[in-house]
A and B are shown apart, each in its own frame.
Chain A
Amino acid sequence: MEFKLQPLGDNSVIIELGEDISRDIQQKVNKVSSFLDENSFDWVIEYVPGFTTVAVFYDPLKIKTKKLPYEQVCEELSAHLEKLDVEQSAEPRIIKIPVCYGGEFGPDLEEVAERNGLTTKEVIDIHTNGEYIVYMIGFAPGFPYIGGMSEKIAAPRRKNPRLKIPAGSVGIAGKQTGVYPIETPGGWQLIGKTPRKLFLPEGETPSLLQAGDQIKFEPISEEEFQKWEEIEND
């Protein structure tokens, strides 16, 4: 696998795996992430995947070397990364995200439809039929940067961002779609809401999604939404 290493400070190194957002580079990012999961170097504190990078935070005190810890880290990482084979990538997990579209849950659905010369049903169909990949988690706990939305339902951010967007809201900003895991201010156009919790602070992993996951949005009715919510709150 090809890569470049650069420091991100005196306690971290960033592994560069490409330059553009693409499925191929995402797979490399995934491969490196799973490699770091499987090989627990005692000097690794944690790693953080980006669109085309993986940052590794390390503890310089745990590296036994006469050289600079950074040099040793680079040597050890390089030796392993060179051998990684992207061809042998694991199948992505498929996570279903039920969404109740429109109404009070998706106050901007009609605007998105109008802007693109579509009916609201067409917007929902296009949104649910997309093939989505989670590129990375960032911005807020459990917030997925999702790629793969059809440009047919693209819509610019709202001029006046909302001060409060409820957790679970599904939105569109430009060519991106996303789900808000916690209540935050934001400028995305809201088309629906999911009853599933994306941020699980008490869970074994605090995020429903992780980089590399495939997402399937499924339309549900308000009644189904309520049933789901009861299950999630149990």
Chain B
Amino acid sequence: MIRITKPGLLTSVQDLGRYGYQKYGVIASGVMDATAHRIANLLVGNDENEATLELTLLGPDMEFSEDTLISICGGNLSPSVDGKPVKLWRSVLVKAGSKLKFGGCKTGCRAYLAVAGGFDLPEVMDSKSTYIRAGIGGFNGKPLQADDELSIGKPSELSTQITKVLAVELDGQKFAEMQWTIASEFTSTPASKPKVRVMKGRQYDWFTQESQMKLFTESFEVTSQSDRMGYRLKGPELLLEKEQEMLSEAVNFGTIQVPSEGNPIVLLADRQTTGGYPKIGQIATVDLQIMAQLKPGDKVQFTEVSHEVAQQLYLDREKQIHQLKQGISLKIKQESK
């Protein structure tokens, strides 16, 4: 069991999302940075879709009542166990009675905490993701509060093997980290003004030529009006050639829509299912993880990518993650011997 002693800024239970119900207006929810979430799960021997805790900017404090295999991936929110820093992107075995805390936010803004066995919580509409506005999913439909107690599910065989490897290293310490980590292509922190690849949106042609050009040449800043639902950006005004009626239709994770005042909004994990603003662009799935780690004040530069290339990039990325998954399992098998 994990007991939350301080909730942090916004800590919620999320998995890869609630899909199949958007036609009923039920939003997808789920993690903002799917890659970090998936890797955190893989490093503790979980299924990729198992729920993790999504921590935002200011992480929570928590206590472990039993020896627990965890992994923290994504943004660096300075985690430490009983005062000693813990590395990101690793399998970590934490002793019973230890306290995990987070300090300042060094890189990114969201970290994912996976525990072996996942969280023993009911699925609502096939997902454990917290849908805060409707008060469903996750832990009582809400972000975590002080004194919430999270039960841990049954660990997989792989989880048990990883735990055994690390148990040898514990040697009276409060925690033990795996010696090895994963390839740096997954863990490197993006530049201070990252490039994010964007496809032309369905109403791209509705915008003035100047606006079309500015989307891909100028930079945009994430404003304070940004959350899991979407980021409002500040930059050059993006204007329509002429007023046109736009009928509501489906939107996607990473859709860039522009209300009439000209400031774009990037739709993210908690986006509504449909939208009625013209869509100037669509972020390539492989670059959503960059966007998800940006915080207010950060800048971003959009670069154009074709729909075909974006899909190919996605297929390539999935192949890499698949290889990573096999690599972890192989490495554990070798070390268990």
Binding site for B on A (CB under 8 A): 6-12, 14, 21, 33, 45-53, 55, 57, 60-61, 68-70, 136-143, 145, 181-182, 184, 199, 201-202, 205-207, 210-211
Contact = CB atoms under 8 A, between A and B. Distances in A.
A52 B250 CA distance: 11
Interface in B188-204: 199, 202
A115 B19 CA distance: 43
A9 B24 CA distance: 21
Interface residue tally on B, bucketed by range: 35 or more
Contact of B285 (A6, A9, A140, A142): A9
B136 A201 contact: yes
Contact of B22 (A14, A46, A60, A181): A46
B254 A139 contact: no
A6 B200 CA distance: 11
A129 B45 CA distance: 60
B26 interface: yes
B326 to A, nearest CB: 15
Given A9-B255, A210-B23, 19 more contacts: A8-B255, A9-B252, A10-B310, A10-B314, A11-B252, A14-B202, A47-B23, A48-B273, A53-B247, A55-B252, A57-B19, A61-B315, A137-B24, A138-B248, A138-B274, A139-B272, A182-B133, A184-B133, A206-B21
B183 interface: no
Q: Give the 4 A-B residue pairs with the shortest CB-CB distance, closest first.
A: A50-B249, A138-B274, A55-B250, A207-B24
Contacts of A10: 199, 282, 284-285, 307, 310-311, 313-314
B252 A8 contact: yes
Contact of A68 (B23, B253, B255, B311): B311
A187 to B, nearest CB: 15
Nearest to B17: A45
B249 A199 contact: no
Contact of B249 (A53, A142, A201, A207): A53
B168 interface: no
B308 interface: yes
B311 A60 contact: yes
B125 interface: yes
B77 interface: no
Contacts of A139: 25, 248, 272-274
Contacts of B318: 61
Interface in B270-284: 272-274, 282, 284
Given A10-B310, A46-B22, A55 B249 contact: yes
Contacts of B327: none
Contacts of A137: 23-25, 273
Contacts of B312: 68
Contacts of B311: 10-11, 60, 68-70
Contacts of A211: 23
Contacts of A7: 199, 307
Contacts of B314: 10-11, 60
A182 to B, nearest CB: 6
Contacts of B25: 137-143, 181, 199, 207
A11 to B, nearest CB: 6
B124 interface: yes
Contact of B250 (A45, A50, A61, A140): A50
Contacts of A142: 24-25
A8 B282 contact: yes
A157 to B, nearest CB: 14
B86 interface: no
A122 to B, nearest CB: 31
A201 B250 contact: no
Contacts of A210: 23-24
27 contacts: A8-B251, A8-B255, A9-B252, A9-B255, A10-B284, A10-B285, A11-B311, A12-B252, A45-B19, A46-B23, A50-B249, A51-B247, A51-B248, A53-B247, A57-B22, A57-B252, A61-B315, A138-B273, A139-B248, A139-B274, A141-B134, A143-B25, A181-B25, A184-B133, A201-B134, A206-B125, A210-B23
